[in-house]
Amino acid sequence: MLHGFSGMKGGTLFFYSRVGAVPVLLNMYKNSINYSFYPVDIIDSNSTCIVFDEFDLFLDDSDKKYGMKYIKSGLNVRFDNESVAEYYASMESDEKFERMILRYQYLTDQHANMDW
């Protein structure tokens, strides 16, 4: 759901999500709409990468570490009840979670190579 879009001359647009309203600033530039979440002039790509790398490291050591391990595994996420229950059960220990990931990777390779 969204709200706003008033006037297009520096108007704001709000996207509503589970975390609340996310503001987006709008302006016109050569007959096209451009947007940004925060008015920033020039962004240094190296410092931006450092911020993202530090945030990844933070997540790796947080209560989200199993989600990060799963993301880094490259596996597709399954959302059926049985899979979600298996994810939670495997989060009892790093070793159990790693075994689940290795098993899913093995099965994914078997399916991709039609080796069943």
> How far is it, in rounded angstroms, from Cα 88 to Cα 95?
14
CA angle 38, 41, 47 (to 5 degrees): 85
Rounded percentage of the chain residues whose pLDDT exceeds 90: 52
Residue 31 DSSP label:
T
d(CA 36, CA 51): 18
Tens of pLDDT, residue by residue over 39-80, are 555 667 788 889 899 999 999 999 999 999 999 999 999 999
d(CA 56, CA 91): 19
Mean pLDDT over the full length of the chain: 80
